[in-house]
Amino acid sequence: MGSGSMRSSWVCILMLILSILVIRDQLPELGAPVLLRVQAQGSWEVVVENAGIASMHTAVTIYNTVVLLDRTDIGPSQLPLPDGECRNDPNDETSTHDCTAHSAVYDIGSGTIRPLFIDTDTWCSSGQFDTDGTLVQTGGDNDGFSKIRTFAPCPGDGDCNWVETGTPLQNGRWYATNQRMPDGSQAIFGGRSCDTVEYVPSKGAPVYIPLIANTNDAQNDNLYPYVHLLPNNQLFIFANRDSILFDWNTNTAVANLPAIPGEPRNYPSAGSSVMLPLSGFNGWGGPEILLCGGATYGAFLNPAAGLPASITCGRIAPLDAAPAWAMENMPLRRNMGDMLLLPDRNVLIVNGAGNGAQGWGNAQNPVQTPVLYNPNAAAGTRFQTLTATDIPRVYHSTANVLPDGRVLIAGSNTHQFYTLTGYLPTELRIEAFSPPYLFGARPVITDAPGELGYGQAFTLTIDGGNPDFIDLNFLSAPYSTHSFSQGQRLLQLNTATPAAVGGGAYTVSTTAPPSSVIAPSAYYMLFAVSNGVPSTASWVHIG
């Protein structure tokens, strides 16, 4: 072979190595296999050209529909209410007579948008699904400050709508956080000028939380606190840079944790947070919290300065004997990003800006490149940049995992009202991002239970994929708003060796999570993940 041919061969080999990047998808985890797979970068698709509203609150229902919710005190939206219906609200500071919708349902299958009627202002409110799949939505501004609203979902062709309950919150809540609890209640933490927790249904008078009060500053960096239910039945609560372990049965702090290094991390400085997946392989122990991004202190007070966003992530095991934050750098600076637990147990970081802070007109330099974080990789090798979107998503944008494994991205409005021109206009398009794991042969769940009790043994039938590399993962349906998915949770089941049943199908036996502390009673998406590629989820009620 001549030297020219040899050079050509080596060039081909080098190009092949560069174009097919084979990396470890995950490290062994207590018996879980090691797998090598080809990495893609993902793809984007606009699924709705004009939803009519910019959704600042988004949640996926058990009927494979998506609730979109904006504030009402914003003037007319681009989505008319049906049949000449109008909202007459003498307390509305912008439009007391409004014939447009400020909430809607997106049907994933048909791609249609159905307007919903909501009466009181839901600006910067909070929410969580109840045990029966009803979305409970709390607080807001103005006449919505003390409201509790419910949305009992229905199939896409149904006529379900919002209901304003007659029972008010005891403390008005604006910029609060909801967490579904093991006893079926919802705990509601914080809010602007509100340093308490209360429960819905009520358990008595609201209880003062010193952490929330003590972490306030000139920017109010303690809003939308991060709350995670730990497997020891305590809560991890984070505000600004500080965090505690909280006993919700006695409503007391039982431990103060170290402050995270660097910038403030809650609204309006806006990092994001997840509890990393819990696993039945290690008895549901060893919880870890991941917190990424934020804004330089002063970015909210002086938005013209364009101060840089944080570039760091912190990770802590809050139940360790001596908890400490382990810090590492992201590939890109980011604030007001959204962090999502994906069905393959990786973390997606998407949306946000590289400078400024949350608030009207405070963000600059949109970050349009998502980042994938592999929690099981070694430090220094955990991040991977993915395909960028063409659409900036900054203040008041959301992200939710869909049952088909895609990620729905909605909203973005950095203006007080709908402003459809100029810099960072109000965004009415809805996108779906297909992560890298959707570019492979997908397993199919052909038989799954619709209801499970705690600790109940059950068997799934799966068609396709590789039974030697199979995971079964429950993923909650959280309430996405202001860079935090309230109630987000992923549970990896401890599975037995699959058994072939013919025709490429096989069964996998496992047991449901053991208690409402591990899996608060609710509907979950059950994904079968083979070779790192997820099935379409089956909705399963646990509890």
Domains of the chain: 43-438 (2.130.10.80), 439-542 (2.60.40.10)
Q: Would you state the structure tokens that stand for residue 204, as one six-digit string?
A: 């008595």
Continuous segment of H or E residues that includes residue 292:
strand 289-292
Q: By mean pLDDT, which of 86-95, 214-223, 244-253, 324-333 is the weakest? A: 86-95
C-alpha 1: how far from chain center? 56
Say what the pLDDT of residue 302 is.
Answer: 96
250 within 8 A of 261, measured Cβ to Cβ:
no
Q: Tell me how far apart the alpha carbons of residues 534 and 407 are, in angstroms, rounded to a whole number.
A: 13
Establish whether the linkage from the previous residue to 268 is cis, with ω within 30° of 0.
yes
Least-confidence region, from 5-14, 79-88, 248-257, 484-493: 5-14
If you average pLDDT over residues 483-488, what whole number do you get? Answer: 98
Identify whether the C-beta of residue 477 lies closer than 8 Å to the C-beta of residue 490: no
Strands 451-452 and 538-542, by their bridges, are parallel
Statement: residue 442 has pLDDT above 80: yes
CB 364 within 8 A of CB 379: no
pLDDT tens-place string over residues 8-26: 333 333 333 333 333 333 3
- The pair of structure tokens assigned to 159 is 């006529």
Kindly report the pTM of this predicted structure: 0.92
Q: How far apart are CA 428 and CA 52, in angstroms?
A: 6
* Chain segment 314-370, per-residue pLDDT in tens: 999 999 999 999 999 999 999 999 999 999 999 999 999 999 999 999 999 999 999
| Integer CA distances (angstroms), 349 to 69, 125, 380, 486, 536, in order | 22, 22, 17, 16, 21
Residue 40 pLDDT: 58
Neighbours of 2 (CB within 10 A): 7
Could you read off the pLDDT of 180-230 as tens digits, one per residue?
999 999 999 999 999 999 999 999 999 999 999 999 999 999 999 999 999
Percent of the chain with pLDDT over 70: 93
Please give the average per-residue pLDDT across 43-65, as a whole number: 98
**Is residue 277 pLDDT above 80, yes or no?**
yes
Q: What is the pLDDT of residue 22?
A: 32
pLDDT confidence of residue 15? 33
In tens, the pLDDT along 455-464 reads: 999 999 999 9
